[in-house]
Amino acid sequence: MSTIIILTVVSLSVLGVILAVILYFVAQKFKVVEDPRIDQVEACLPGANCGGCGYAGCRAFAESCVKASNLDNNYCPVGGNAVMKNIAAKLGMEVSEKLPMTAVVRCSGACGKRTAVVEYDGTASCMAKSALYTDSSSCQYGCLGEGDCARACKFGAIRMNAETGLPEVDEDKCTACGACVKACPQNIIELRNKGPKSRRVFVSCVNKDKGAVARKACSVACIGCRKCEKACPFGAITVEDNVAYIDFNKCRLCRKCVAECPTGAIHAVNFPQETNKQIKNDE
Amino acid sequence: MMSKTFPMGGVHPDDSKISANAAIEDFPLPAVAYVSMSQHLGAPAEPVVEAGQEVKAGQLIGKPSGFISAPVHSPYSGVVKNVDYVADLSGNKAKTVVIEVSGDQWDDGIDRSGEIKRDIVLSGPEIIAKIAEKGIVGLGGATFPTSVKLSVPKGKKAEYLIVNGAECEPFITSDYRQMIEQPEQLLIGTRIMMKALSLDRAYIGIEENKPEAIEKLRGYSKEYGDIEIVKLRKKYPQGGEKQLIKAVTGRNVPSMGLPIDVGAVVQNVSTAIAVYNAVQHNMPLVEKVVTVTGNCLPVQKNFRVRLGVKLSELIGHAGGVPEDCVKIISGGPMMGKAVYNIDAPVVKGTSSLLFLTRKETARRPESNCIRCASCVSACPMGLEPYLLGKLARLSKMEELEKNRVYDCIECGCCSYTCPAGIPLLDNIRLAKASVLKIMRSRPKK
């Protein structure tokens, strides 16, 4: 009886040792050498796998950071500067600070402001709508209002305002990953500098039609009149294809353009209320 | 003889050919016409006329830019007002030559006599060059340049020429009227294309719900014994290229392949007549038969329209938009496109204007998929639309590719048949475009 037990234990132990030795050599032979820094960098990242950096996920981004000679082309928009600093410290590299960005919706053609011309009863998707025709309103450039951007946002930062029919971005939640920019078939959403104290000035229209056509289509359209271009003391505004664009790197937030715009297409956000009034009183 | 058909899928919508007995009427010349430069698949034509220039009907006004492109000719005599961007029926702006029409002067060398010329003088390559020069494109709806389709690539051989007279879309009767009214022109046009492809046989496929057209064309069997009239079963999408080839030849066009891969060339009947006019009468493609129909219209019309007439003028001549009409469709009810801009001009691809009432267009309320597999039985391409629709909603591009979403011909049988009212095709079409984009962006092996 005891011999059976001893034999079993011995044979199994011997078998175990032999297999262990084989496994050891196999493991040595097929060893994948991976830079341990990749794991370290990945640990710093938010782990949302949103793709905002341009890579398939956080691990792919970490790999590219480790391989790169500098971090100029790599930026995690979700983690922002704090995370990039951490990564730089782990890799012993330098990183220049980037200004925080946020998604900006460049259309204010709410339901009452654009004339509706047709009725849409198709599937609720901006992509489907834009594949069929330009829009149910008279403006062929404006927001289609089916919420592809809101669905694309992995951080719950965009919601469709039922009253205006336009998307609204929650700046605190927006990580500037750019998913909504890609999702919008009309190219309305842009990533812009968040600005000091989140104060920003931007043109909230992308209508490329000539002034009269644009104005007829929507009461808050940019009509390309160039008043803002002339008013800007910093040369930040350019008018191309009948629509003004404010370069956020040059804009100093003086808001002279806001006061000039005849249609109210230029928006200034997060400025204190009083100063807004002051500007109007100065007029 | 048994009617031929394709074996897999298909649906049987009511054919509603209510305009079948309306003879083709010549549409009056408009005062101002809008001739678009992108009336065909491929690169838009480049205008060669300037504002203030006088043009004659049939004169070249847009030259092709690129291999897949087609020239555009002026359908009118008059003065060019300007070259502007004009919105098409979807509201997208395209370069357009605006012509103020005066009189009806035709360019030299164009034979408008209407006498039937039976002798084909030109050689094969000359025919193809002529077709390219006269701006002939596929008039079945895809508007692919006909000359490119007739130029068989090296290493391939054309064995079958099939002329498509199926007209399986409900309501549309423009092809039917042309088959009835211009049978000999159609047969000569077919012979011209046979010569271009160096074939000695051709087939004209016609659905069995058009017995007069079949009778009429079979009546010419003595003179045109080399052209067989094939009776096809009435089933949608019988006129789909792949379905027609399967019905006539029994061959399957491979996935992602072209008809020429199985030796087939398919042309529409109106294309064949346009080919006849171009080769025998030197006539460029400047007019088109357009059906104006709908259950809510007081009159049903088949108009021979010069290109560039505003759709709103056609609508006006058919008695205006009826009060209960809520949707106008360019093309048939199954695959046509809703008209967004009724001031858009008639183009080479316009085949019909269909007026629908709210009751006819109402979408069924959407409910959950009950896995009845009606869509699977209806799909003529052997796909699983319920699965593709679901994957499309979830944006699973790899899975969609594995399930051959790229084979979808967008016929709409799945949405038509779905008892749960799921807009299957809407979702699949979007996903198909994304998947094809991904596939094209991959480096070629």
Interface touch A140/B423, C-beta < 8 Å: no
A159 plus A206 within the same structural domain: no
Neighbours of B4 (CB within 10 A): 19
Interface touch B430/A121, C-beta < 8 Å: no
Interface touch B423/A122, C-beta < 8 Å: yes
Give pLDDT, residue A282. 44
Residues in chain A: 283
What's domain B124-281's superfamily in CATH? NADH-ubiquinone oxidoreductase 51kDa subunit (3.40.50.11540)
Q: Which of B91, B361, B427 sits opposite A133 (nearest CB)?
A: B91
User: In this structure, is residue A9 part of a structural domain?
Assistant: no
Instruction: Report the sign of the C-alpha dihedral through residues A262, A264, A265, A270, in that order.
Output: positive
Cβ partners under 8 Å of residue B354, min gap 6: B171, B172, B291, B293, B294, B328, B329, B330, B331, B332, B333, B336
Burial class (CB in 10 A: 0-12, 13-18, 19+), B179: buried
Interface touch A128/B361, C-beta < 8 Å: no
Q: Calculate how close chain A gets to B59, using CA atoms only, in Å.
A: 32
Whether the pTM exceeds 0.90: the reply is no
User: In this structure, is residue A6 part of a structural domain?
Assistant: no
Q: Could you tell me if A19 lies within 8 Å of chain B, comparing CB atoms?
A: no
A181 plus A203 within the same structural domain: no
Rounded to the nearest angstrom, the gap between the alpha carbon of residue A128 and the centroid of all alpha carbons in its chain is 22
Nearest to A229 by CA among A195, A260, A206, A207: A260
Quick one: closest CA in A to B85, which residue? A209
A213 plus A228 within the same structural domain: yes
User: In this structure, is residue A115 part of a structural domain?
Assistant: yes
Give the structural domain span for A71: 36-91
Q: How many angstroms separate the CA atoms of B135 and B270, rounded?
A: 14
Instruction: Pick the last residue of a domain from A91, A111, A135.
Output: A91
Q: Calculate how close chain B gets to A66, using CA atoms only, in Å.
A: 26
User: In this structure, is residue A83 part of a structural domain?
Assistant: yes
Cβ within 8 Å of A, B 86-125: 87, 90-92
Cβ partners under 8 Å of residue B32, min gap 6: B81, B98, B99, B100, B101
Which chain B residues are closer than 8 Å to A121 by Cβ? Answer: 361, 363
Interface touch B340/A125, C-beta < 8 Å: no
Alpha-carbon distance values, B156 to A6, A29, B43, B247, B428 (Å): 77, 51, 25, 21, 32
Pairing of strands A101-105, A189-193: antiparallel
Interface touch A122/B429, C-beta < 8 Å: no
Cβ within 8 Å of A, B 61-90: 87, 90
Instruction: Report the sign of the C-alpha dihedral through residues B422, B426, B428, B431, in that order.
Output: negative
**Amino acid letter, residue B218:** R
Quick one: closest CA in B to A148, which residue? B393
Q: Which of B90, B326, B430 sits opposite A134 (nearest CB)?
A: B90
Q: Which of B90, B361, B430 sits opposite A128 (nearest CB)?
A: B430
Quick one: closest CA in A to B429, which residue? A128
- pLDDT (tens digit per residue) in A224-270: 999 999 999 999 999 998 999 999 888 988 888 999 999 999 999 88
Query: What single string gives the DSSP state of each residue in A46-59?
Result: ------TTSSSSHH
Q: How many angstroms separate the CA atoms of B146 and B131, rounded?
A: 7
Three-state DSSP class for residue A93: coil
Give pLDDT, residue B377. 95
A187 plus A199 within the same structural domain: no
Q: Calculate how close chain B gets to A204, using CA atoms only, in Å.
A: 22
Interface touch B363/A125, C-beta < 8 Å: no
- Each of the 283 residues of chain A gets a pLDDT tens digit; together they read 789 999 999 999 999 999 999 999 999 999 888 888 888 888 888 888 888 888 888 999 998 888 888 887 788 888 888 888 888 888 888 887 778 888 999 998 887 788 777 888 778 888 888 887 766 677 888 898 888 999 988 888 999 998 888 999 998 888 888 889 988 999 999 999 888 888 889 999 999 888 888 888 888 999 999 999 999 999 999 999 899 999 988 898 888 899 999 999 999 988 887 555 445 444 3
Cβ partners under 8 Å of residue A154, min gap 6: A48, A50, A177, A179
A141 plus A204 within the same structural domain: no
User: In this structure, is residue A114 part of a structural domain?
Assistant: yes
A177 plus A242 within the same structural domain: no
Cβ partners under 8 Å of residue A273, min gap 6: none
Q: Calculate how close chain A gets to B320, using CA atoms only, in Å.
A: 18
A115 plus A199 within the same structural domain: no
A108 plus A177 within the same structural domain: yes
Question: Residues B409, B381: contact at Cβ < 8 Å?
Answer: yes
Which chain A residues are closer than 8 Å to B361 by Cβ? Answer: 121
Q: How many angstroms separate the CA atoms of A106 and A143, rounded?
A: 9
Question: Residues B167, B179: contact at Cβ < 8 Å?
Answer: no
Mutate to test the interface with A, among B340, B397, B418, B435 (most CBs of A within 10 A): B340
Query: What single string gives the DSSP state of each residue in B367-434?
Result: -------HHHHH-TT---HHHHHHHHHTT-HHHHHHTTGGG-----HHHHH-TT---HHHHHHHHHHH
Q: Could you tell me if B395 lies within 8 Å of chain A, comparing CB atoms?
A: no
A122 plus A165 within the same structural domain: yes
User: In this structure, is residue A4 part of a structural domain?
Assistant: no
Cβ within 8 Å of B, A 115-174: 118-119, 121-123, 125, 127-128, 131-135, 140
User: In this structure, is residue A14 part of a structural domain?
Assistant: no
A171 plus A249 within the same structural domain: no
Q: Which of B87, B341, B430 sits opposite A127 (nearest CB)?
A: B430
What values do phi and psi take at B115, rounded to 5?
Answer: -75, 145
The domain total for chain A is 3
Crossing angle of helices B174-181/B183-196, nearest 10°? 100
Give pLDDT, residue B240. 93
A183 plus A139 within the same structural domain: yes
Q: How many angstroms separate the CA atoms of B356 and B329, rounded?
A: 8
User: In this structure, is residue A148 part of a structural domain?
Assistant: yes
Neighbours of B109 (CB within 10 A): 9
CATH assignment of the domain containing A219: 3.30.70.20
Question: Residues A223, A241: contact at Cβ < 8 Å?
Answer: no
Nearest to A206 by CA among A261, A146, A260, A141: A141
Residues in chain B: 445
Three-state DSSP class for residue B147: helix
Q: How many angstroms separate the CA atoms of B409 and B95, rounded?
A: 29
CATH assignment of the domain containing A83: 1.10.15.40
- Each of the 445 residues of chain B gets a pLDDT tens digit; together they read 678 999 899 999 998 999 999 999 999 999 999 999 999 998 999 999 999 999 999 999 999 988 889 999 999 999 999 998 888 888 888 899 999 999 889 998 898 888 899 999 999 999 999 999 999 999 988 899 999 999 999 899 999 999 999 999 999 999 999 999 999 999 999 999 999 999 999 999 999 999 999 999 999 989 999 999 999 999 999 999 999 999 999 999 999 899 999 999 999 999 999 999 999 999 999 999 999 999 999 889 999 999 999 999 999 888 888 888 889 999 999 999 888 888 999 999 999 999 999 898 888 888 999 999 999 999 999 999 999 999 998 889 999 999 999 999 999 999 999 999 999 998 999 899 989 999 998 887 6
Q: Name the helix (H) or strand (E) containing A86.
A: helix A80-91
Q: Calculate how close chain B gets to A122, using CA atoms only, in Å.
A: 8
ipTM of the complex: 0.74
Interface touch B430/A118, C-beta < 8 Å: no
A249 plus A170 within the same structural domain: no
Domain boundaries, chain B: 124-281, 374-441
Neighbours of B297 (CB within 10 A): 21
